[in-house]
Structure 1
Amino acid sequence: MNTTVLQVRGLAKHFGGVRALDGVDFDVPAGQCVALIGPNGAGKSTCFACLAGQQVPTSGDVLWQGQSLLGKPPAERQRLGVARTFQVAQTFEALTVLQNIQLVLRSDQLLAWWDRLDRRQSERALQLVAQAGLQAQAHASVADLPYGAKKRLELAMALAGLSATGPSLLLLDEPAAGLALAERADMMALVRQLATQGVTVLYTEHNMDAVFGVADRVLVLIQGRLVADGKPEAVAQDPQVRERYLGFDFDMKGLLDAHR
């Protein structure tokens, strides 16, 4: 059984009288791929922001490998092995694909005016380009890339910010957002591959074909509370989840068959 690496305990975030998160608890074992789903306004993005350090929770704790992340800025969390992506891909449009990755690989060191970015850790950068399936576009300007490639690049950049060794956690905020069906399939195959290689993945998603058939486990947030936590098959049949989110006509098998 895999060791639990991420522990979320009593996580709450209030905005005035609005309880965006209301006492959320869950664990994620090492190497597991977990989807966090729920309707708009459920608290998914707030939860991610608290885990990644963009927001400070009102109460509760987030433990990574037994160490509290509270009070640690995103850069320090990244050094500890925690990185995130965003709903809209965050890349440097004026640079090439390879340069985007090289810049993140060396983000802990300032670039002097005489430095050449192209020379920075080129071997490691090329490995990440290949992992993201972007070899053909390695030297292309990011501004010229289709959106699906930009999403894969952002994922490679998140990996670049982490150590090549040691446990790592990827927080992916809607990795398949804005992608066509075939692009979603490619993206989620990459996410699944990372998990099988030992990266712990927690992601939010609205496209159910990017959840069922991909995630090892599904968490369901509704109105800031975790209402379900289990294997995809069990969550798809949960009466409360069907009534309040998926709908009574949701057919997991039919969904997966339609996208094969």
Structure 2
Amino acid sequence: MAERSLMLVLHDVAPSTWADYRPFVEAVDALGNVPITWLVVPDFHHHDALAAHSDFRRLLDGRVAKGDELTLHGYYHCDDQPRPRSPKEWFMRRIYTHEGEFYQLPQAEALQRLTAGIEVFQRNDWPLQGFVAPAWLMSDGTRQALRQLPLGYTSDPHHIYRLPDFKRIDAPGLVWSARSAWRRGLSKVLSDRREQRWRTAPVIRLGLHPVDMRHEFSRRYWLHTLQRLLNAGRMPQTKAAWLAMQPWDG
């Protein structure tokens, strides 16, 4: 059987969410060499700019030196566009999520925010290969903007796409909705079923969010799942490292 991999991905990384993630990251580090992909938001919700937090930037410097990957995850990670005008828009932008920053953006504005995010990485000398839209929601304008930029990939919940041509590669992912006890319980049931279904998949992504870390039930699930997949022989890799191993044709 070909070597199977796993990716540990932390969403919504910002100075204000580090307190949520820190105990978990320390537990992961104690397991040994498990590289992490950090989805970094340059100015989380318009009030958490990386530029104002030198200690956190140095922490990310250290993670890059350790072998982790930093990925651009929106710019503000909040939907600041005009109010929804249709039932579909209302559902996607007010019920499904309030944070689909790139869901409605026209090409010019998407390009402006993406370019600003790339410049943040450049100023900090952080290598950058990927962009992940908040809530994985992208407008057609965002897709067109991505085709113009020097980025290697983007993703949705179950695929990674090579840029600029959006070549799709299967990469199934586990993710929770952990805002309430019933959501956490349902997420556990669904994740257990999906993990079983994907047991022979070449790669499984573990997509964590800060809210997962605020509840022992979900935090324990992620750590135990990571350990279980490692014990099953899966090789931990960053997104960029795994993608570099995939064939370009087919």
Normalized against structure 2, the TM-score is what?
Answer: 0.29
- Give 1 or 2: higher helix fraction: 2
- Give 1 or 2: higher strand fraction: 1
Normalized against structure 1, the TM-score is what?
Answer: 0.28
